[in-house]
Chain A
Amino acid sequence: DTAVSQTPKYLVTQMGNDKSIKCEQNLGHDTMYWYKQDSKKFLKIMFSYNNKELIINETVPNRFSPKSPDKAHLNLHINSLELGDSAVYFCASSDRTSGLYNEQFFGPGTRLTVL
C-alpha cells in the first residue's frame, strides 16, 4: 500500500551509460515531480507534470528526459551519465485539483552513483 514508489532504490553505473528511474503513485494525484538532492542535501525541483502535461521544467541538462505515460507514473531517463549526476533522486506527487498549494508526498528516493 505504498503511496509513492520508486525503482530502483540504488543504481550504480558507469559514466556514459543511459539509465531510467521509474515512479508510480497510487494516491490518485494529478501532479508528479522529480527532485534531485545533492551531497549537500539541497533538494531541487527538476520537472513537474500535471495530468501528463509538463508544467515545471527547470534548468536541467537535456540529457534528462521525463516521461509521463499516465497520471500515476512519471519516469526519468538520463542519457550519457556524468559523475555530477550522482545524487539521490526523489519522485513526489500532489493533488492540485483540491488546492494548488497542497502538500507533496515523496517517494523513498533512488540513490544514483556514477563511477
Chain B
Amino acid sequence: SQKIEQNSEALNIQEGKTATLTCNYTNYSPAYLQWYRQDPGRGPVFLLLIRENEKEKRKERLKVTFDTTLKQSLFHITASQPADSATYLCAPVGSSNTGKLIFGQGTTLQVKP
C-alpha cells in the first residue's frame, strides 16, 4: 500500500540555521507533492507544491526538492526563526484521478532563539 514517512522525532535547531525535513514515499509514483504547515490546535496551511518534472521549488525562505528516483522530497527553511516552529506535513498525491492527497504524520520543528 502507499506509504509516506516523515521523521517522527522532533527537529530542534538554532535560530538562523537551515532546517531540513525529509519525506519518503513508497509503493507509488506521485505526480506532485504538497507541503503544509500545522500549528497546534489549527488546521494545516498550504506552503508549496512541486511537480514530478520540477526538481526544485522556492518561495521566500522555503525550498522544496522532489527526487522521483529516490522517492523523496526535502523541505528546507533557511535562516530559520522561532516563528517557524510548527509541524510540517508532506502530502504526495495518492490518486491522479481524484487528486487525493496522502499525508505523512508530520515532523515537528522547534527553532530555538
A residues contacting B by CB (< 8 A) are: 4, 31, 40-45, 48, 55-56, 90, 92, 94, 96, 100-101, 103-109
Contact of A41 among B42, B43, B93, B106 (CB under 8 A): B106
Q: Does B22 contact A (CB under 8 A)?
A: no
Q: Which residues of B contact A45 (CB under 8 A)?
A: 100-102
**Once the chains bind, are A106 and B43 in contact (CB under 8 Å)?**
yes
**Once the chains bind, are A106 and B44 in contact (CB under 8 Å)?**
yes
Tell me, rounded to whole Å, the shortest Cβ–Cβ distance linking B102 to chain A.
Answer: 8
Q: Which bracket fits the contact residues of B?
A: 20 to 34
Given contacts A90-B43, A107-B43, contact A96 B99 (CB under 8 A): yes
Q: How far is the CA of A41 from the CA of B105 in the complex (A)?
A: 6
**Once the chains bind, are B45 and A106 in contact (CB under 8 Å)?**
yes
